[in-house]
Amino acid sequence: MALMRRWMFSGISSQTCIITQWLTQNSMSQSCLVNGIDAFQELLTHSSNTPASLRSPQCEEITVPAVAFSGAPSTRETSFIEKMKKMGKNIIVFYGSQTGTGEEFANRLSKDAQRYGMKGMAADPEEYDMAELARLSEIENSLAIFCMATYGEGDPTDNAQDFYDWLQENDDEDLSGLNYTVFALGNKTYEHYNAMGKYVDKRLEELGAKRIFDLGLGDDDGNLEEDFVSWREQFWPAVCEHFGVEPLGDESSIRQYELKVHTDINMNKVYSGEIGRLKSFEVQKPPFDSKNPFLAPVTVNRRLNKGGERHLMHLELDITGSKIRYESGDHVAVFPTNDSALVNKLGQVLGVDLDVVISLNNLDEESNKKHPFPCPTTYRTALTHYLDITQPPRTNVLYELAQYATDSKDQENLRKMASSSPEGKSLYQNWVLDACRNILAILEDMPSLRPPIDHLCELLPRLQARYYSIASSSKVHPNSIHICAVVVEYQTKTGRLNKGVATNWLKNKLISDNGHKSMVPMYIRKSQFRLPFKATNPVLMVGPGTGIAPFVGFIQERGWLKEQGKEVGETVMYFGCRHKNEDYLYQEELEEAEKNGALTQLNVAFSRDQEHKVYVQHLLKANKEHVWKLIHSENAHIYICGDARNMAKDVQLAFYEIAEEQGEMTRSQATDYIKKLMTKGRYSQDVWS
């Protein structure tokens, strides 16, 4: 077997193939092959001449037979055209999804098709040859729908990266026979709002495809569900008009899966929380990724803040022997589980035995997706490990559940909330979203609503991995990954106490739990948030609150480089918190780093220790001469981490003002100056909302 690394980034796939082929044909050992490609990756990741869009490729290790390198055909079915013909489908819904929402919307649209006399299928673009879009016209009344999420700073999601590359690289492709539409999923707090969806919509038109309905823009900072429902309710009539078909008018529930109860089954064949392969948590085999996470023991779990109501924590995960490698700035993804008390309460309200072993089998035998989650399993395992039971349900779930309400008023309200009427939208916003009602709260507040648990499990979305910026450097901590997080806990308008799934789960990961090590299923997601290749370049870091996480790793790495005798440029930190004596995170570490020279300047804004609030942007402007000197004269790299909604925008505005004043520019020129730094990879953001 040979080990091949596949990179997903634009414009370099051919170089990667050439190098991989050369290394393989020259009969190099597996270790040499990996090292050779690693060297190529290192060059691209750190080269100051490499465009930012090409750095930090998303790397996934896959074990393949050596013959695969010589062009042997793959046995995997990559023709969605042949599959559609075989299954009698005429609508295909591709999704680019990082957290599951894009996939969920795609499934809803493919299911909708049946109500309009058509047949749809949802598809992951990573699994198919997207060049076949040119052949879709072979199928009568065919349509391709694209539900495309934007990840991070205008990037495609991991599963849509290859599709994005294909669109960029194939200028001669003729898609004149393709009918299409796009719904984009994004967040307005990010600068590159819905960049991926907009690009796909524009690029398909450039290649000759026919847009049959306007691009839909979903804003997760507002009401993504409302955006989607409003777009969808206009979209389907337009499709019917385009193809000259009549909707069937069938508004009844359409089940996708059928229940099978296992009364006599070998429990060794029952999933107990594994994400991918059965028993994968018992026998761990690298490489580790989203489908095969590594079970990392928790070696440290300590509270960071000295006081206050919030709980800020530092965890350390042991990755010894896993062959997992990471770099400063990467993200660690963890797979949390739901609170057992919440799961038990759901079982009680529904009056079911949660330990029954079941399978939910797809009624469409040709579908790639045989089950909505790993099966066979128990209801308890599904509700604990696989299903999201804490988020407010989307409108399609309420619509499907309405049929089970025995009270006519409850049924009417559920259907109303699932509609796009102004009254329905308002009711859903107030009663579900603003009140933060999860599925349990809805069942408690609607005693007449008692759906079959198997249908509820079919409807609920998958519980997703949570991403955290790694708070350590592999140069200093090669065998552990550090996490910095704040525990989420709040009271709702109904008086209920809601808890964040992942942070409360992590909080309870004790070092030794009844003599057993606490384990965290995790994997690494590569990031473009990287230290400059040249250590002599100054770095200017802005990270208030838990936004300090990646900079703990950056500071460790810069300190390590100094210890190796390397010349290191200025390392400047701007940190902010509420109170010095309460939530000054990593105070000892930061002050020690400044003392030993790893950190050349430490600036801390305590927002509530004085009458007037002081934030990091105020300190930046107070030090404007030094900041401008670093940026303009010394080629400093700027890094921002933390809140996207307010902090990141305020900090960016501060940099505009500094460039305007110190560089003697107009506001327009100053804005262009900072934007060019972004383009060059010298202004990087790792932000969330």
Q: How many CB atoms lie within 10 A of CB 195?
A: 20
Which of 190, 319, 235, 79 lies closest to 678, judged by CA? 190
Q: Is 387 annotated as a binding residue?
A: no
Q: Is 469 annotated as a binding residue?
A: yes
Query: Which tokens go with 567?
Result: 């010349």
Catalytic residue among 110, 142, 469, 472: 469
Q: Is 101 annotated as a binding residue?
A: yes
Query: Which tokens go with 404?
Result: 């089970």
Which of 626, 646, 640, 638 lies closest to 689, judged by CA? 646
- With a CB cutoff of 8 Å and minimum separation 6, the contacts of 192 are 150, 153, 154
- With a CB cutoff of 8 Å and minimum separation 6, the contacts of 417 are 395, 398, 424, 427, 428, 431, 432
Torsion of CA 197, 202, 205, 207, to 10 degrees: -100
Q: Is 192 annotated as a binding residue?
A: yes
**Contact at 8 Å (CB) between 194 and 153?**
no
Q: According to the 3-state scheme, what is the secondary structure of 128-147? A: CCHHHHHHHHHCCCCEEEEE
Q: Is 190 annotated as a binding residue?
A: yes
Q: Is 185 annotated as a binding residue?
A: yes
Catalytic residue among 236, 560, 628, 688: 688
Q: Is 419 annotated as a binding residue?
A: no
Q: Is 672 annotated as a binding residue?
A: no
Q: Is 149 annotated as a binding residue?
A: yes
Q: Is 688 annotated as a binding residue?
A: yes
Q: Is 467 annotated as a binding residue?
A: yes
Cα separation, 556 vs 638, in Å, equals 17
**How many H-runs (helices) and E-runs (strands) does the chain carry?**
21, 27
Torsion of CA 333, 334, 335, 336, to 10 degrees: -140
Q: Is 381 annotated as a binding residue?
A: no
Q: Is 236 annotated as a binding residue?
A: no
Which strand (E) or helix (H) includes residue 683?
strand 683-688
137 is known as an active-site residue: no
DSSP E strands in 13-166: the ranges are 58-64, 91-96, 120-123, 143-151, 155-156
Q: Is 157 annotated as a binding residue?
A: no
Catalytic residue among 474, 641, 643, 684: 641
Q: According to the 3-state scheme, what is the secondary structure of 313-374? A: EEEEEECCCCCCCCCCCCEEEECCCCCHHHHHHHHHHHCCCCCCEEEEEECCCCCCCCCCCC
Cα separation, 161 vs 143, in Å, equals 22
Q: Is 488 annotated as a binding residue?
A: no
- Amino acid letter for position 58: Q
Q: Is 617 annotated as a binding residue?
A: yes
Q: Is 136 annotated as a binding residue?
A: no
Cα separation, 639 vs 571, in Å, equals 11
Q: Is 102 annotated as a binding residue?
A: yes
Q: Is 43 annotated as a binding residue?
A: no
DSSP E strands in 124-266: the ranges are 143-151, 155-156, 179-186, 210-211, 216-219, 257-262
Q: Is 191 annotated as a binding residue?
A: yes
Q: Is 466 annotated as a binding residue?
A: yes
Q: Is 402 annotated as a binding residue?
A: no
Rg (CA), the chain: 26
Q: Is 181 annotated as a binding residue?
A: no
Cα separation, 667 vs 289, in Å, equals 45
Q: Is 261 annotated as a binding residue?
A: no
Strand partners, 99: none
Sheet strands side by side (includes 357-362): 257-262, 357-362, 377-378
Strand partners, 484: 314
Q: Is 152 annotated as a binding residue?
A: yes
Distances (CA, A) of 317 to 72, 298, 311, 471, 589: 40, 5, 19, 11, 19
Q: Is 616 annotated as a binding residue?
A: yes
Q: Is 501 annotated as a binding residue?
A: yes
Q: Is 490 annotated as a binding residue?
A: yes
Q: Is 338 annotated as a binding residue?
A: no
**Residue pointed to by tokens 């066979």:** 376
Catalytic residue among 165, 388, 410, 686: 686
Q: Is 194 annotated as a binding residue?
A: yes
641 is known as an active-site residue: yes
Q: Is 500 annotated as a binding residue?
A: yes
Q: Is 99 annotated as a binding residue?
A: yes
**Contact at 8 Å (CB) between 551 and 531?**
no
Cα separation, 543 vs 586, in Å, equals 12
Q: Is 77 annotated as a binding residue?
A: no
Query: Which tokens go with 507?
Result: 């909080």
Binding residue numbers for NADP(+): 310, 546, 607-608, 613-617, 650
Residues annotated as binding site for FAD? 466-469, 484-486, 490, 500-503, 688
Give catalytic residues, as residue numbers: 469, 641, 686, 688
Instruction: Name the binding residues.
Output: 97-102, 149-152, 185-194, 220, 310, 466-469, 484-486, 490, 500-503, 546, 607-608, 613-617, 650, 688
Q: Residues marked as binding for FMN?
A: 97-102, 149-152, 185-194, 220
